[in-house]
Amino acid sequence: MTDKAYALFEEQQQSRGIDLEVIKSRLKALQIETPSWGYGDSGTRFKVFQKEGVPRDPFEKLEDAAQVHKVTGLCPSVAIHIPWDKVEDYGKLRSHAESLNLKIGAINPNMFQEEEYMLGGVTNSDPAIRRKTTDHLLECVDVAKETGSRDLSLWFADGTNYPGQGSIRKRKNWMLEALGEMYRAMTPEMRMLIEYKAFEPAFYHTDIADWGMAYNYAVKLGEQAHVLVDTGHHLPGANVEHIVSYLIDEGRLGGFHFNSYKYADDDLIVGSINPYELFLIFYQILDAAESGEERLVQAVNNIAYMIDQSHNIEMKIPAMIRSVLNVQTQYAKALLIDHKEVAEAQANNDVLGAEDAVRRAFEFDVTPLLHAVREEQGLPLDPMKAYLSGSYGQSILARGKGGASW
């Protein structure tokens, strides 16, 4: 059945001049990092529902993440958040990851959960609090050295709730001071990924509110600083794929935090609300890669794909599997775009033809292609089913309720 479906798919794509062998190898190279906090209990400010079987410490979070990688073959690394995932010995955490066929990925300093941070961390008007927060950034550089991580992902909750509450200009410069200190502490292999967010928890102004501000800091800091695009961090109507394309061309797109949103930073399962946006993001990435220009190919190769979602009502591991598979599906569809056809339509100012050439790829059912890739990699054809029918989900129930929050 699979063979027959694939043969039909292959015929269909061959007739369009698409080489499926190239596409399959690109699909096999796709890597998506999952976040440790996506395995813990989390939710909204109204209620965090505690689930049975949630990991109790960072070691167990890695064990859950290993299950996602086992069935999808897509998630060999896990981002951690410090101090949510603080441990005595990061070497031990690293070895534990390696024993599970995983690596520790991006290190995310957490500068929003302590009392002192109420009015900001690195942009607080109190120099002692700025010092404490900057020290935490430096501590995270040391953690990255121990875990062997390349990327430091920075998100600052810093901002104000009311006009006049703080000096926006002073805060801008304090931010640069702290980032500069961290930047100088990094090894040459490390990268600083600067994440922006329009609002929340600050509701009047956020110190790094959009990609332009993040980009400006990155340019001022140097070549190891890049912008991180969290798909849920824009004001309504923002054209995320435009931002993506612009940053790639500037060589400053460090990576993504993928999630879905209906209204704002909803952190829902990736691709559950607007899969076409995800497809169009990949279209821009592949368009840059297809250009063949060395600087663009390199910029694309350095993009870190990461998930950032929190689950309140859904089971954590299956929710993560769903997200990862949705990313893979949209990537596979985007790989079917005929860039020559698009370029020709663009050259002829054929508006409808260009739109059609892009959208048509989205409309293909890529199930036979994904099945073929998984079969060749020795993975279950249906990763979700494989996880749900396995015993791991049952076995972790012994952990009981009240596991780690985030």
Residue numbers of the site for Mn ion (CB under 5 A)? 230, 257, 265, 308
| C-alpha Rg value of the chain to the nearest Å | 22
Is 341 a binding residue for ligand PSV by CB under 6 A? The answer is no
Query: How far apart are CB 233 and ligand PSV at their closest, in Å?
Result: 7
Residue nearest ligand PSV, Cβ-based: 155
* Nearer CB in complex with Mn ion: 61/257: 257
Given a contact cutoff of 8 angstroms between Cβ atoms, the answer to whether 48 and 312 are in contact is: yes
Figure out which of the listed residues 225, 308, 322, 357 binds ligand PSV, where binding follows CB under 6 A: 308
Query: Which DSSP state fits 260?
Result: B
* Nearer CB in complex with ligand PSV: 195/241: 195
Beta strand 205-206 with 159-160: parallel, antiparallel or unpaired?
A: antiparallel
Given a contact cutoff of 8 angstroms between Cβ atoms, the answer to whether 154 and 137 are in contact is: yes
Calpha distance 258→369 (Å, rounded): 23
Figure out which of the listed residues 41, 60, 151, 195 binds ligand PSV, where binding follows CB under 6 A: 195
For 167, half-sphere exposure in the C-beta direction (CA atoms, 13 angstrom radius) is 8
Three-class SS of residue 337?
coil
Q: Which does 322 bind (CB under 5 to 8 A by kind): ligand PSV, Mn ion, none?
A: none
* Nearer CB in complex with Mn ion: 136/257: 257
- The structure tokens 């790989």 sit at 335
Beta strand 304-307 with 253-258: parallel, antiparallel or unpaired?
A: parallel
162 CB neighbour count, 10 Å cutoff: 10
Is 155 a binding residue for ligand PSV by CB under 6 A? The answer is yes
* Nearer CB in complex with Mn ion: 134/309: 309
Query: How far apart are CB 195 and Mn ion at their closest, in Å?
Result: 6
Site string for ligand PSV, 21-40 (x = CB under 6 A): ----------------x---
Is 151 a binding residue for ligand PSV by CB under 6 A? The answer is no
Three-class SS of residue 317?
helix
* Nearer CB in complex with Mn ion: 23/193: 193
Query: How far apart are CB 56 and Mn ion at their closest, in Å?
Result: 24
CA dist 199 → 38, 209, 264, 303 (Å): 21, 7, 9, 25
Is 197 a binding residue for ligand PSV by CB under 6 A? The answer is yes
Given a contact cutoff of 8 angstroms between Cβ atoms, the answer to whether 134 and 174 are in contact is: no
* Residue numbers 74-133 binding ligand PSV by CB under 6 A: 108
CA angle, 47 then 237 then 119, to 5°: 50
Given a contact cutoff of 8 angstroms between Cβ atoms, the answer to whether 379 and 328 are in contact is: no
Token duo for residue 160: 């104000």
Query: How far apart are CB 265 and ligand PSV at their closest, in Å?
Result: 5
* Number of residues binding to ligand PSV, judged by CB under 6 A: 10
Query: How far apart are CB 37 and ligand PSV at their closest, in Å?
Result: 6
Q: Is the dihedral of CA 206, 79, 83, 62 positive or negative?
A: positive
Is 230 a binding residue for ligand PSV by CB under 6 A? The answer is yes
* Nearer CB in complex with Mn ion: 122/228: 228
Figure out which of the listed residues 60, 158, 265, 341 binds ligand PSV, where binding follows CB under 6 A: 265
Q: Which does 37 bind (CB under 5 to 8 A by kind): Mn ion, ligand PSV, none?
A: ligand PSV
Nearest C-alpha neighbor of 306 from the set 154, 147, 102, 78 = 78
Residues making contact with ligand PSV (CB under 6 A): 37, 108, 155, 195, 197, 230, 257, 265, 308, 310
